[in-house]
Structure 1
Amino acid sequence: MNMSRRDSLRILAAGAAMGAGARAAEEKSGDLIRRKIPSSEEMLPAIGLGTWQTFDVPPDQRGPLAEVLKEFAALGGKLIDSSPMYGASEDTAGDLMERLSLRKGLFVATKVWTSGKEVGIRQMEASMKKLKTPVIDLMQVHNLVDVKAHLDTLNSWKHEGIIRYLGVTHYHKGSHDAVMKVMESDSLDFLQINYSLAEREAEEKLLPMAKDRGVAVIVNRPFAGGNLFARLREKPLPDFAVEIGCTSWAQLMLKFIISHPAITCAIPATSKVKHLRDNMGACRGPLPDEAMRKRIAAAAGG
């Protein structure tokens, strides 16, 4: 990578950061629920869009996803998260962002998921090509795979402007202790972790630690991989849901998550516009206080 490319990436990243600051200022009067990224104070809407499984489709099946992504942006959504682990999801997201001219308005996150420093660099460069962007907003080490080697690269890339933020991810409670060790030893901008009404283990130590250390938290598996919907299918929405503007279990579950003070953004995945609209509805209106959170957990059987 020569100096001219490095310098151009610095300029692009600086421009993106300035643009993000301007957007945050413009959005102060809006009614979307937003959270600060602690390391920069850039604002993000509290509901984003995951791409696991849903965006893993061939080019001739991307029409419905184009509508989902267009509606996500129209409703004020920003953070879209992918990974090379997710099959064709990066290709799909990159194709749709380019086709719909949405890249500048989105916050693009993806991951490195391989062993070996040089192999990781090649994989991340491939992700940038698939996503059709010279600068990735957030690059994460997926499931802590070869985490030290990749964080070394990502710290250099952040300095050079190739990425704007760096972080790590995991999806299982059994790895929370390993995640905490990384947070203790490395400077992270983001942590992505599982958290839901059915998977609350992160509340014990992980989320408090992230908040204390100024690490933004993205929540994956907000519906516990769909298991919560199966459990709640026959349960009526509790009457008190109206008090916080919720009209569905999905909104109630998401508001439970984003009301935790350590959470920056939850990323439910969907391939249907009606579900996307429902999810984004959780990004408006009042959030539950601690007493209401307990009522939600009790109503859901958690």
Structure 2
Amino acid sequence: MRKPTHDPSRRSALKGLLVSGAALALARWPLPALAADDAPILRAIPSTGVRIPIVGLGTNAYGVATAEERAPLREVIARLAQVQGSVIDTAPGYRNSEEVLGELIAELGVRDRLFLATKVTAPGDDLAEALRQLENSFRLLKTDRIDLMQVHNLNGAEAVLPTLAQWKRDGRFGHIGITTSSNDQHARTAELIRQHALDFVQVNYSLGNRAAEETVLPAALERGTAVLLNIPLGGRRGSLFGKVKDVPLPAWAADFDAHSWGQLFLKYSLSHPAVTAVIPGTTKVANLEDNLGAGRGRLPDAATRKRIEELWDSLG
């Protein structure tokens, strides 16, 4: 077993190793099969039984312009694709990220290795605008089937969900759902989960923001709706890492195979019984590698979750 990493920063020796060696290898596809100890934990989507790795990727920062900016993103996608079936989540609202991802995935030839998710809105319940977005997403992502189509931040959900359901029946979507990243939308999100046959809900939840436990997560459990977690590390709204900047990783984190603060944070969220997968965003292979580590080994049990919460709350 690896020794716990007590450096709370993600810029560790691991990063140096990856950048100097493994990242160069990732730029050349195909890649070797995963080692046995790299096998991820898989969870089933309740509505279909499709099994996905519990750590995927959010791409809010993938709307870039230059070849130099795209190069590290290509490495991240190549590494993620080694973990067969990993969720990669995007949206038309993330600038040109759909276009960037479509091109990089096509270059790498890894479309069949990814669980591709994107989003749609119907501003003012404008179904025509939603239909335009949907067709554009297929074009930009260079695919004829999207594994998960979600209504972004509930925008026009009632107007567009019947169309998403029909397109799912037609085979254009594998799954449909809704998303929110705002606590203010949690009550409405829970209502929609109970009112519609949704395969997925995506919600903001982390050790630093547990509000979804009161509304969204219970509704998802009740209805058998898969749960994706966005901003599980806090993101630009308040990174969890700032609070532990000078705090050593507790030795007992090794009891559930967490070897960095990032892995502790993600494993905590993944141990909630409603959660299917997390989709932390990153543009760096080193950070992705650390995130993927949270999807292997043991997860905290109920008593350990409580211990983690008490530690976090004690930090003020």
Normalised by the length of structure 1, the TM-score is: 0.88
Give the corresponding residue for 2:207: 197
Q: Which whole-Å deviations, capped at 9, do the CAs of 1:201-258 have from their partners, x for residues lacking one?
A: 1112321210110100000010122521111111111111111111100000000011
Give the corresponding residue for 1:42: 50
- Residue 146 of structure 1: which of 119, 138, 156 is its match? 156
Answering whether residue 65 of structure 2 is matched by residue 58 of structure 1, we say: yes
Q: Distance in 2 between matches of 1:106 and 1:252?
A: 25
Q: Distance in 2 between matches of 1:250 and 1:77?
A: 22
Give the corresponding residue for 2:253: 241
5+ residue gaps, structure 1: 1-28
Q: Distance in 1 between matches of 2:252 and 2:63?
A: 37
Calculate percent identity across the aligned residue pairs: 44
- Residue 113 of structure 2: which of 68, 85, 105 is its match? 105
Q: Secondary structure at the match of 2:248?
A: coil
- Residue 95 of structure 2: which of 87, 92, 100 is its match? 87
Q: Which whole-Å deviations, capped at 9, do the CAs of 1:274-296 have from their partners, x for residues lacking one?
A: 10000000010011001111111
Answering whether residue 296 of structure 2 is matched by residue 284 of structure 1, we say: yes
The offset of 1:109, in angstroms, is: 0.3
How many pairs align? Answer: 274
1:57 partner letter: V
Give the corresponding residue for 1:13: none
Give the corresponding residue for 1:224: 234
Q: Distance in 1 between matches of 2:201 and 2:288?
A: 23
Give the corresponding residue for 2:27: none
Alpha-carbon contact 2:228-2:278 (below 8 Å) kept: yes
The offset of 1:76, in angstroms, is: 4.2
The offset of 1:30, in angstroms, is: 8.1
Q: Distance in 2 between matches of 1:187 and 1:41?
A: 15
Q: Distance in 1 between matches of 2:202 and 2:163?
A: 19
Q: Which whole-Å deviations, capped at 9, do the CAs of 1:103-132 have from their partners, x for residues lacking one?
A: 011000000024210110111110111111
Give the corresponding residue for 1:21: none
Q: Secondary structure at the match of 2:232?
A: coil
More helix by share: 1
- Residue 78 of structure 1: which of 86, 89, 95 is its match? 86
1:81 partner letter: D
Q: Secondary structure at the match of 1:300?
A: helix
Alpha-carbon contact 1:45-1:283 (below 8 Å) kept: yes
Alpha-carbon contact 1:109-1:139 (below 8 Å) kept: yes
Give the corresponding residue for 2:271: 259
1:130-209 → structure 2 map (5 Å cutoff): 130-209=140-219
Q: Secondary structure at the match of 2:239?
A: helix
Q: Distance in 2 between matches of 1:77 and 1:249?
A: 25
Q: Distance in 2 between matches of 1:270 and 1:300?
A: 23
Q: Distance in 2 between matches of 1:248 and 1:300?
A: 15
Q: Distance in 1 between matches of 2:122 and 2:169?
A: 22
1:109 partner letter: A
RMSD (CA atoms): 1.6
Q: Secondary structure at the match of 1:301?
A: helix
2:145 partner letter: V
Q: Secondary structure at the match of 1:181?
A: helix
The offset of 1:31, in angstroms, is: 3.8
Q: Which whole-Å deviations, capped at 9, do the CAs of 1:163-198 have from their partners, x for residues lacking one?
A: 111000000111111111111211100000000001
Give the corresponding residue for 1:6: none
The offset of 1:78, in angstroms, is: 1.1
Q: Distance in 2 between matches of 1:120 and 1:232?
A: 42
2:287 partner letter: H
Q: Secondary structure at the match of 1:84?
A: coil
Alpha-carbon contact 2:38-2:296 (below 8 Å) kept: no
Give the corresponding residue for 2:33: none
Q: Distance in 1 between matches of 2:131 and 2:79?
A: 33
Answering whether residue 307 of structure 2 is matched by residue 295 of structure 1, we say: yes
1:167 partner letter: G
Normalised by the length of structure 2, the TM-score is: 0.84
Q: Secondary structure at the match of 2:134?
A: helix
Q: Which whole-Å deviations, capped at 9, do the CAs of 1:69-90 have from their partners, x for residues lacking one?
A: 1111124461000000100111
Q: Distance in 2 between matches of 1:77 and 1:106?
A: 5
Alpha-carbon contact 2:59-2:281 (below 8 Å) kept: yes
